[in-house]
Amino acid sequence: MADLIQLAKDAGFDQAEVYRVSSESQPIGFETNRLKEASRRDTSGAALRVIKDGRLGLSATTDPAAEDGLVARVVELAPFGAKAAFEMPGPDDYPAVDIFDPAIAALEFDTMVQTGQTLIDAVRRDWPELNCSANVSRGVHTMSLSNTSGLEAEYRQTSYSVGFGGELVRGDDMLFVWEGYGASRLFTDTDWMVESVLRQLEWSRDTAEAPSGQVPVIFTPRGVSAALLGPLLSGFNGKAVMTGSSPMAERLGDKVVDERVSVFDDATIAGAIGSRPCDDEGVPSRRVALIDRGVVSNFLYDLQTAGRMSAASTGSAGRGLTSLPTPGTSVVDIAPGDTPYDDLFLGIKEGIVVERLLGAGQGNQMGGEFKANVLLGYKIENGEIVGRIKDTMISGNVYDALSKLEAVSDRAEWVYGTLRAPAIRCLGVEVASAG
């Protein structure tokens, strides 16, 4: 491993930073109800970021033998680079964030196999015709960062994830059901996943005719993730605010959605997959309020974007090995409301539940728009679920929908370990279906 900081200093760079990552992951995969594949994936690499004559340069490699060449490459690139709007930060105090669990590092292969097979077998007891797949994965990830301002940051993170589901084919009708969860701490209670998949199958037993036009829609926590999260968060990215392409630009302090909506980005939540003591530029993690009781409270910034906006980094820099840092979310935490889950259905004469979508994220997300086919959703009649809806699309605008909010459930649930969200009932969503 080359001492890239020294090499960069020798080459006369004003400021330099070395970002290193290495990870080991061991996923196993089940297909057609039995174990099919076991893998081991090791990746590592180094990226050198420099500021030379006020301009940014980056070069990266996954080839340990090519590390010495990074400096020469970045010399060639820096004159073309963007103007740096920040100085590399020095040492800082980081919060203690619980993201390493030795029990994951010590997990036995056979235990992982048993976990996946048990889930599949449990669901197939009631639904033998379900064709199941599953994956169980564990990993250890190391990030280290050093720069010419004396910053030295390093952390190790474990991850463990379990996902399983199946397809039910009847004639030309196909139903896909799935549940999954990931955390940086080992978890052994997976019964709730079986219950969730069984509930999806039960609610889909009958097919119902979807309503058309604007009807009340309940987004389950997973539905919130599928439909609303992408269009909402794209407007809070500091880069979109900087260029003025976010509808939230110049709206800081304004009430833009119902006051029951509060959204945070929080990398300090213990045990979550996206948590970390500092971001990928070495800025300490913190809880950032994006929407506080309906009011635009802050945006997500990395150092460069914050510098351009005369703001402070929110510790939101994320990066792939081969690209410059960019602002992004870590763990999104949406505050629960005060309506018991079952009461969400009260008084709905005709409406739908949205759980999973197909094609969400295509289209004008930045404008707050969502459009998608309902991959898994149900029809509500007189407050009761009467069956699965198919060949149905929803469309709407997230700011509009969250302003026409009707209720927020009193409990937030984890969706894949990077989002904690309640179920949300709102109006303002257009439903269209094939006859």
Partner 1 sequence: MTLRDQMQDAIKGHGADYLEIRLEESDSTRIQYRARELEEIGRTSGRGGSVRAAVKGGWGFVSFNDTADLKSRVKLAVEQARAVGSEKTDLAETDPSVADVPPVLVNDPGSVPLADKKDQMDHYNDLIWSTPGIQSSTVIYGDNRRRVHYVNSEGAAVDQEFVHVICYVSAVARDGGDVQQASFSIGSLGDYGLIEGLDDQVRAVGQRAVELLSASGIEGGERTVILDPVLAGVFAHEAFGHLSEADHVYESDQLKEIMVLGRKFGQPHLNIVDGGAIPDLRGSMAYDDEGTPTKRTDLIRDGVLVGRLHSRETAAKMGETPSGNARAISFNHPPIVRMTNTIIEPGDASLEDLLEGVDDGVYVRNWYGGMTSMEMFTFSSGEAYMIRKGRIEEMVRPVMLSGNVFKTLHQIDGIGNDLGMNQGGGCGKAGQSPLPVSNGSPHIRIRNCLVSGA
List the interface residues with partner 1, window 262-301 (CB under 8 A). Answer: none
290 φ, ψ (degrees, to nearest 5): -95, -50
Q: Which two tokens stand for residue 428?
A: 């303002």
User: Is 32 or 382 the residue whose CB approaches partner 1 more closely?
Assistant: 32
Q: Which of 8, 399, 402, 426 binds partner 1 (CB under 8 A)?
A: 399
**Should residue 128 be labelled a site residue for partner 1 when binding is judged by CB under 8 A?**
no
| Letter string b/e over residues 81-109, b meaning 16 or more CB atoms within 10 A of that residue's CB | beebebebbeeeebeebebebeebeebee
Q: Is the dihedral of CA 125, 126, 131, 134 positive or negative?
A: negative
Q: What is the total count of residues that contact partner 1 (CB under 8 A)? A: 82
Ramachandran region, residue 237 (left: φ > 0; alpha: ψ -120 to 50; beta: rest): beta
User: Is 245 or 297 the residue whose CB approaches partner 1 more closely?
Assistant: 245
**Residue ranges in 366-395 that form contacts with partner 1 under rule CB under 8 A:** 366-368, 371-373, 375, 390-391, 393-395
**Residue ranges in 129-188 that form contacts with partner 1 under rule CB under 8 A:** 131, 167, 169-174, 176
Q: CB of 372: closest distance to partner 1 in angstroms?
A: 7
Cα distance between residue 147 and residue 270, in whole Å: 27
**Should residue 411 be labelled a site residue for partner 1 when binding is judged by CB under 8 A?**
no
**Residue ranges in 21-80 that form contacts with partner 1 under rule CB under 8 A:** 28, 31-32, 34-45, 56-66, 69, 73, 76-77, 80
User: Is 350 or 430 the residue whose CB approaches partner 1 more closely?
Assistant: 430
User: Is 97 or 426 the residue whose CB approaches partner 1 more closely?
Assistant: 426
Q: Write the DSSP string, 200-213.
A: HHHHTSSB-PPP-E
User: Is 41 or 125 the residue whose CB approaches partner 1 more closely?
Assistant: 41
**Should residue 82 be labelled a site residue for partner 1 when binding is judged by CB under 8 A?**
yes
Q: Write the DSSP string, 281-301.
A: TSPBP-EEEEEETTEE---B-
Cα distance between residue 352 and residue 345, in whole Å: 10
Q: CB of 239: closest distance to partner 1 in angstroms?
A: 7
Q: Which residue has the tokens 């006859």?
A: 435
User: Is 307 or 383 the residue whose CB approaches partner 1 more closely?
Assistant: 307
178 φ, ψ (degrees, to nearest 5): -160, 150
Give the per-residue contact string, 315-354, with partner 1 (x = CB under 8 A; - = no). Answer: ------xxxx------------------------------
**Should residue 116 be labelled a site residue for partner 1 when binding is judged by CB under 8 A?**
no
Q: CB of 81: closest distance to partner 1 in angstroms?
A: 6
CB atoms within 10 A of CB 354: 28
